[in-house]
Amino acid sequence: MTQDVEMKELPAPSNSASSSPPSTLHHLKEIASLIETGAYAREVRRIVRVVRLTLALRQKLNAQVLSAFLNFTLTPGSELHSRLSSYLPKEDEHDMDVDTATSAIQTPAKHSLPELEVYCYLLVLIFLIDQKRYNEAKACASASIARLKNVNRRTVDVLASRLYFYYSLSYELTGDLAEIRGNLLALHRIATLRHDELGQETLLNLLLRNYLHYNLYDQAEKLRSKAPRFEAHSNQQFCRYLFYLGKIRTIQLEYTDAKESLLQAARKAPVSALGFRVQCNKWAIIVRLLLGEIPERTVFMQKGMEKALRPYFELTNAVRIGDLELFRNVADKFSSTFNSDRTHNLIVRLRHNVIRTGLRNISISYSRISLADVAKKLRLDSANPVADAESIVSKAIRDGAIDATIDHENGWMVSKETGDIYSTNEPQFAFNSRIAFCLNMHNEAVRALRFPPNSHKEKESAEKRRERQQQEQELAKHIAEEDDDEF
Amino acid sequence: MDPKLTEVSQLFERFKAAFVRHDFDTCDSLLSQLKVLLTHFRSLPPLFEDTPNAIHELTLARDIYEHAVVLSVKIEDQDAFERDFFQLKPYYTDAGNRLPPSLQEYPILGLNLLRLLVQNRIAEFHTELELLSPTALENPCIKHAVELEQSFMEGAYNRVLTARQTVPDDTYVYFMDLLAKTVR
């Protein structure tokens, strides 16, 4: 009931206000009313919509509109109002006055909903970041976080998680991310205590990002493994989580898991998040190379990524051919790119894969080759290439990378003939694993089907009700008949 | 000067003297006394309180732990090495910007890398490696460990064996011997 009343009441002021300044302010006011309804009805869904609508407006925000909006929602002269408007540049005083006058008349009752307060913080913060005034953004963000710590309402959670994000972003842009680590940890704790799952998710990601920014993989992994996990609420946050997870796994040499999470992150990411997907792809390519796979050409030719992935394409090429010289050249040529992507150490690890591939190529093409030639072909540059080649070849044989033997006396590497693979059980195994994969996929799909809650229950109860009514009627009839009999 | 600080410095002088004499038993007992005394300083990690002679205390504590790490190598105790190294690490990472850099930093970081390599903890090896700056990677002590790891992965064991002759610091010999044993 209350909700209906609200709905009727609120559109009125925003409609009349739309006449003077056209789009943006009007939209903002509509959003504000949406927040109010959401807050009163305790509907988180509405607040989520608010955030989405705000992001659409982001381009159009300017100081004038913002201060008008602040005047509209907050009591002019209150502490919060004066603090927030101090962040905005003063211009066009005259224009604004007219505007505030009209809106003040239209909404005499001033709202002091925490949701609206938080929303105002959010707007101003976004505006400041867009204007590249990071120091002010930092101050604003810190003030908002201090306010948030005292508010415990489910409807604020969505807005709060956005605020956390911009809070961290403003500190990252000024380069003192380490400062807020303690604060973020405290916020994460608060969110956990309040069962604010979205907040936990966001904060966990921010913390991981914070740690990874300083290459503190150890701490990141410890935090990640201890923090509670639950079903993802927001796709974006889940993607980020997967990406950070992939990075940590890569550093800790768990390539198979890393590949899985990186590829999943790249696939789940929205199409518009090009930068994120490029990053994911870069890491995924390296991980796949480290695993000894060669990514397909289509990976590098994805729309909008050709240029960014170019260094990695050439790197892949070098690994594929197994040419150490070429590999070294590529690594040198793009070393600045690799350094800024922080993948340099991973690329150093790749060297050994290059040697492997080169060796495999040699073992395929020659049935018998002297170790000196192997060293020459791999272009090993060391004092004693033959001895090097000997130990490298023997390790490769031991690890099962090539199927060969070493004739130590003559200094030869003898490759074994590769038999007909179709005469072995190999195709059967491959086929089996594919079938297992398909069956698994099917099972998971069935499990992931969602049914709207209570839909079948209600139907049942309706039937039951009808039955019950019928029984009651019959009973009543019986009683009536009995009554008749008595008289 | 703070009486406690004087006491610690005097004890540390005695420790150093014993260290030079290669009297490792005395060193060990002095070291445990020193560690207990260090807990009285409030400027050290994890508290990091800003006391008047914080810089002096931090430098002294770092010196003590550096010696402790080297001592543990000398008495060939890997567990003690790990413990002491983790105690030392905050001085490099968290207090690094307040103190003058230590000459011992890179050799000790290199030693730690080598230890991880010897104990075959490659994942941790790479995690540590990520923490190092490009300039640190250029340092001969650390480069040594990194190159060793590469030769290991490639399987160029003979290079590992020859690397023993080119150690940058004589404390490395202990780990190199262990490594050589594993290789054989």
Instruction: Give the nearest chain B residue to A391 (CA atoms).
Output: B156
CA A125 to chain centroid: 21
Instruction: Give the nearest chain B residue to A335 (CA atoms).
Output: B134
CB–CB of A218 and B153 under 8 A?
no
A389 burial class (0-12, 13-18, 19+ CB within 10 angstroms)? buried
Task: Say if residues A193 and A234 touch (Cβ distance below 8 Å).
Answer: no
Pick the CATH number of B1-102 from 3.30.9.10, 1.10.10.10, 1.25.40.990, 1.10.10.60: 1.25.40.990
Closest of A346, A370, A374 to residue A358, by C-alpha: A374
Q: What is the pLDDT of residue A419?
A: 63
Specify if A472 maps to a domain. no
**Average pLDDT for residues B132-150, to the nearest whole number?**
77
Q: In Å, how far are A138, A201, A256, B30 from A160, measured between CA atoms?
A: 16, 12, 35, 54
pLDDT tens, residue by residue, A441-474: 999 888 887 766 665 655 566 677 788 788 888 8
CB–CB of A218 and B146 under 8 A?
no
Closest by Cβ to A382, choosing from B124, B130, B159: B159
Confidence at B128, pLDDT banded by 50, 70, 90? confident
Closest by Cβ to A251, choosing from B127, B153, B155: B127
Tell me the range of A53-57, A477-481, B171-175 where mean pLDDT is highest.
A477-481
Q: What is the pLDDT of residue A99?
A: 41
pLDDT tens, residue by residue, A225-280: 888 776 667 788 888 888 998 888 888 888 888 888 888 888 888 877 888 888 88
Closest by Cβ to B123, choosing from A253, A384, A395: A253
Specify if A54 maps to a domain. yes
For residues A263 and A353, state if they share a domain.
Answer: yes
Residue with tokens 């990690």: B45
Say yes or no to pLDDT of A96 above 60: no
Tell me the CB-side half-sphere exposure of residue A377, using CA atoms within 13 A: 21
Task: Say if residues A388 and A374 touch (Cβ distance below 8 Å).
Answer: no
CB–CB of B154 and A392 under 8 A?
yes
pLDDT tens, residue by residue, B79-109: 888 888 888 887 777 766 667 777 777 888 8
Give the A-side interface with B, CB within 8 Å: 215-218, 251-254, 339, 344-345, 348-349, 351-352, 355, 382, 384, 387-388, 390-392, 394-396, 398
**Average pLDDT for residues B35-53, to the nearest whole number?**
70
CA A273 to chain centroid: 10
Show the domain range for A250: 234-362
Q: What is the pLDDT of residue A105?
A: 37
CB–CB of B154 and A355 under 8 A?
yes
Say yes or no to pLDDT of B159 above 90: no
Q: Which of A158, A175, A192 is the last residue of a domain?
A: A175
pLDDT tens, residue by residue, A9-35: 333 333 333 334 456 777 777 777 777
For residues A169 and A260, state if they share a domain.
Answer: no
| CA A383 – CA A375 distance, rounded (Å) | 11
| CA B143 – CA A50 distance, rounded (Å) | 54
Specify if A459 maps to a domain. no
State how far residue A388 is from chain B, nearest Cα, in angstroms: 5
For residues A162 and A249, state if they share a domain.
Answer: no
Closest by Cβ to A395, choosing from B127, B131, B155: B155
Residue-range domain boundaries for chain B = 1-102, 105-184
Q: B180 at the A interface (CB within 8 A)?
A: no
Chain B CB contacts of A391 below 8 Å: 155-159
CB–CB of A251 and B134 under 8 A?
no
Residue with tokens 């005499």: A108
Percent of chain A at pLDDT exceeding 70: 77
Least confident among A217-221, A481-485, B17-21, B108-112 = A481-485
Confidence at A435, pLDDT banded by 50, 70, 90? very high
**Higher pLDDT pick, A304 / B166:** A304
pLDDT tens, residue by residue, A391-414: 777 777 777 767 777 777 777 777
The domain tally of chain A equals 3
For residues A306 and A346, state if they share a domain.
Answer: yes
| CA A255 – CA A247 distance, rounded (Å) | 10
CB–CB of B130 and A345 under 8 A?
yes
Specify if A186 maps to a domain. no
Q: B157 at the A interface (CB within 8 A)?
A: yes
For residues A355 and A373, state if they share a domain.
Answer: no
| Mean pLDDT for chain B overall | 76
CB–CB of B159 and A395 under 8 A?
no
CB–CB of B127 and A217 under 8 A?
yes
Closest of A51, A52, A43 to residue A7, by C-alpha: A43
Closest by Cβ to A345, choosing from B129, B155, B156: B129
Specify if A439 maps to a domain. no
Closest by Cβ to A392, choosing from B126, B131, B156: B156
**Average pLDDT for residues B131-137, to the nearest whole number?**
73
For residues A154 and A7, state if they share a domain.
Answer: yes
Say yes or no to pLDDT of A428 above 80: yes
For residues A297 and A250, state if they share a domain.
Answer: yes
Closest by Cβ to B158, choosing from A218, A254, A391: A391
**Ramachandran area for residue B102 (φ above 0: left; ψ -120 to 50: alpha; else beta):** beta
CB–CB of B153 and A384 under 8 A?
no
**Average pLDDT for residues B121-149, to the nearest whole number?**
78
Chain A CB contacts of B124 below 8 Å: 218
Chain B CB contacts of A217 below 8 Å: 127, 130
Specify if A341 maps to a domain. yes
For residues A286 and A355, state if they share a domain.
Answer: yes
For residues A283 and A167, state if they share a domain.
Answer: no
For residues A249 and A289, state if they share a domain.
Answer: yes
Instruction: Give the nearest chain A residue to B137 (CA atoms).
Output: A345
For residues A269 and A121, state if they share a domain.
Answer: no
Percent of chain A at pLDDT exceeding 90: 3
CB–CB of B156 and A216 under 8 A?
no
Three-state SS string over chain A comes to CHHHHHHHHCHHHHHHHCCCCCHHHHHHHHHHHHHHHHHHHCCHHHHHHHHHHHHHHHHHCCHHHHHHHHHHHCCCCCHHHHHHHHHCCCCCHHHHHHHHHHHHHHCCCCCCCHHHHHHHHHHHHHHHHHCCCHHHHHHHHHHHHHHHCCCCCHHHHHHHHHHHHHHHHHHHHHCCHHHHHHHHHHHHHHHHHCCCHHHHHHHHHHHHHHHHHCCCHHHHHHHHHHCCCCCCCCHHHHHHHHHHHHHHHHHCCCHHHHHHHHHHHHHHCCCCCHHHHHHHHHHHHHHHHHCCCCCCHHHHCCCCCCCCCHHHHHHHHHHHHCCHHHHHHHHHHCHHHHHHHCCHHHHHHHHHHHHHHHHHHHHHHCCEEEHHHHHHHHCCCCCCHHHHHHHHHHHHHHHCCCCEEEECCCCEEEECCCCCHHHCCHHHHHHHHHHHHHHHHHHHHHHHCCCCCCHHHHHHHHHHHHHHHHHHHHHHHHHHHHHHHHC
Say yes or no to pLDDT of A98 above 70: no
Q: What is the interface pTM, i.e. ipTM, of the complex?
A: 0.74
Q: B130 at the A interface (CB within 8 A)?
A: yes
For residues A327 and A417, state if they share a domain.
Answer: no
